[in-house]
Amino acid sequence: MSEPIDALTELVGTGDVVVLSGAGLSTESGIPDYRGPSGVARRHTPMTYQTFTGDPDARRRYWARSHLGWRTIARAAPNAGHRAVADLERAGVVTGIVTQNVDGLHQAGGARSVVELHGNLDRVVCLGCGAAGPREELDGRLRAANPEFAGRALAVNPDGDVELGDDDVARFRTVDCAGCAGGMLKPDVVFFGETVPPGRVRDCFELVERARLLLVLGSSLTVMSGRRFVIRADRLGIPVAIVNQGPTRSDGCATLTVDAPLGTVLPELVRRVGATACLPGR
């Protein structure tokens, strides 16, 4: 293990690093990923934007499952990997973070320059009037509307969705926007079939294009939403380093790949980078 971390330290230590993180960074916080060794296999099709907005039954099913799953996400605490990324940012080594995660754990771990590519489960938006609000407030309204709801989550996914029995779903009551008549509420996250806001994508590309190194953490890079930034870096000749448990779709264009738990690798990386003369601010 020492040799790959030595190589990673050399790549990261000179700074101007942009991080691209995925669900694998949050597994040690108790949030499983989809494809890694600690992942869970979905037994149902992920919610699409078109189904969510067009099918009231599907929308009720989503909110019933997410009502339970969000609590797991909300209780999760940042792990050593999140804190290590924040340490590298504070040291001036990491200049920006693009995360595919919707759990807010980068910020909870102390990071500041975070672009949430797919949004955040802690926020809710009305598709009618555009008003946004905290998920905690919606949680209180859903609890009030479902005082006897005691569904039991069978499995939790990284997006806060859970496996839930049909009987539990059938008796769940949804609520609309409190600010406009009948406004449809949606978590402020990007569903399948929905487009990431163009301005957000542009910001991410600009971060990557200014970087000296793109550091991928905990992503299999299966989905183009995140992999496009690796492709852009590769085309521009910007080195790419990947730390992930298991192979990724972009291993072939990476300068370095490290197959190991992030909670082990990243704190050690912080220790080693902090000991080098090239660390900015030290």
pLDDT of residue 159: 58
Tokens 């049909």 belong to residue: 166
Are 216 and 82 part of one and the same domain?
Answer: yes
Q: Does the annotation flag 120 for ligand binding?
A: no
Q: What is the pLDDT of residue 232?
A: 98
In a shared domain, residues 242 and 144? no
Structural domain boundaries, residue 57: 40-75+121-189
What pTM, to 2 d.p., does this model score? 0.90
107 known ligand binder: no
Instruction: Residue 88: give its domain's CATH number.
Output: 3.40.50.1220
Task: Return the pLDDT at 276.
Answer: 56
Residues 207 and 230 both lie in one domain = yes
Of 67, 82, 106, 118, the active-site residue reads 118
56 sits in the region (left: phi over 0; alpha: psi -120 to 50; else beta) called alpha
**Measured distance CA(254)–CA(4) in Å, rounded:** 13
229 and 107 co-located in one domain: yes
Predicted pLDDT of residue 280: 44
In the chain, beta strands by DSSP E:
17-21, 94-99, 114-116, 119-126, 132-134, 185-189, 213-217, 240-243, 256-258
Is 246 one of the annotated binding-site residues? Answer: yes
pLDDT at position 255, please? Answer: 98
Last residue of a domain, one of 162, 189, 216: 189
Residue 244 sits in the same domain as residue 114: yes
Residues 256 and 204 in one domain: yes
Give the DSSP letter of residue 159: T
Question: Is 204 one of the annotated binding-site residues?
Answer: no
Question: Tokens representing 213?
Answer: 């190194």
pLDDT of residue 70: 87
Closest CA to 29 of 100, 77, 68: 77
Within this chain, do residues 20 and 52 fall inside the same structural domain, yes or no?
Answer: no
- Please count the structural domains in the chain: 2
pLDDT under 50 in the chain at which residues? Answer: 36-43, 154, 277-282
| 244 in a known ligand binding site | yes
User: Any idea what the CATH number is for the domain that residue 56 is in?
Assistant: 3.30.1600
pLDDT digits (tens, 9 = 90+) for 222-234: 999 999 999 999 9
Q: Same structural domain for residues 145 and 271?
A: no
Whether residues 21 and 88 fall in one domain: yes
Told to judge if 118 belongs to the known catalytic residues of this protein, a careful annotator would answer yes
